[in-house]
Amino acid sequence: MQLTGPEILRRMQGENPDIVITPFDMRCLGPNSYDLHLGDTLRVYKHTIPKGMRPAIPYKGSTGMHHMRDWFEDNGYPTMGMVDSEPYYYRDYLKHPEKYDLRNPRYLIDPTNPKHHETIDIKIPETGLVLHPMFGFLGSTVEYTETRNLIPHIDGKSSVGRNFIKNHFTAGRGDDGFCGDWTLEIEVLYPTVVYPYMRIGQIYYETIMGERMPYDKIKTSHYNGQRGPTAAAPIPIDRFLREKQK
């Protein structure tokens, strides 16, 4: 069963509350959820960024003009003996688009390779940041949460979904005992503007049945206590299953 808004609030009371949400504001409490907000930092896997390309660009405002070349660095190599108004990397993209296409296997991610999980940080200015639809972004909630005796679950808000912003893929359901910020796996269908502190999703709580095995008490828990956007831990390959199949 899912908790109502008033029950979420009740479970936040007392010396040992089942729910901690900080910062908390009553204006964000809904009928059966609490609204979560996007932090001001995004992370992108370095391995997936073509040289000379920008995963995101500052928003110029509703009256500003954006161009395809804005996705490319403007400090590339100069053309010998001539002046060219277009950035080097943009001209290179026009000639060799496959070099900048993330479907190119050179940008593959090996989930078991820690090198492929190294990131760069991108700050979201208050005036907004335009996300490129080719890239995946790791964001995080402003809110730090703790959950006990319940299962937390995050989902996108309907207005976020109707702007075709995906804010998580397979990581929407949390664990009893999880403590930390929530990392968001963000992807957009179109070039889309995001802002720090915009409402990005909602957290729900479901009751549990049976003996507890809290996430924060399990030594192998990768993400407990995480703060800010957190890159993937290498995915293990359980070779003991080979023996069990024999």
Asked whether residue 208 carries a pLDDT value surpassing 60, the answer given is yes
Instruction: Answer whether residue 218 shows pLDDT above 90.
Output: no
Predicted confidence at residue 81, as pLDDT, reads 46
In whole angstroms, how far apart are CA 236 and each of 82, 107, 183?
Answer: 53, 21, 20
Q: Which entry of 7, 86, 146, 185 is annotated as an active-site residue?
A: 185
Q: Which residue has the higher pLDDT, 245 or 167?
A: 167
pTM as predicted = 0.87
- CA gap 135, 224 in Å, rounded: 26
Burial classification of residue 193, based on how many CB atoms lie within 10 Å of its CB (0-12 exposed, 13-18 middle, 19 or more buried): buried
CB 107 within 8 A of CB 48: yes
98 is catalytic: no
194 versus 170: the higher-pLDDT residue is 194
Residue 78 neighbours by CB under 8 Å, 6+ apart:
84, 88
Domain locations in the chain?
5-43+117-245, 47-107
Class of domain 5-43+117-245: mainly beta
- Give the pairing type, strands 129-131 and 192-194: antiparallel
pLDDT at 236: 83
Res 82 pLDDT > 50 = no
Residue in 178, 136, 131, 130 with CA at minimum distance from that of residue 154:
178
Mean pLDDT score, 191-207: 96
Decide which of 233 and 148 is more confident: 148
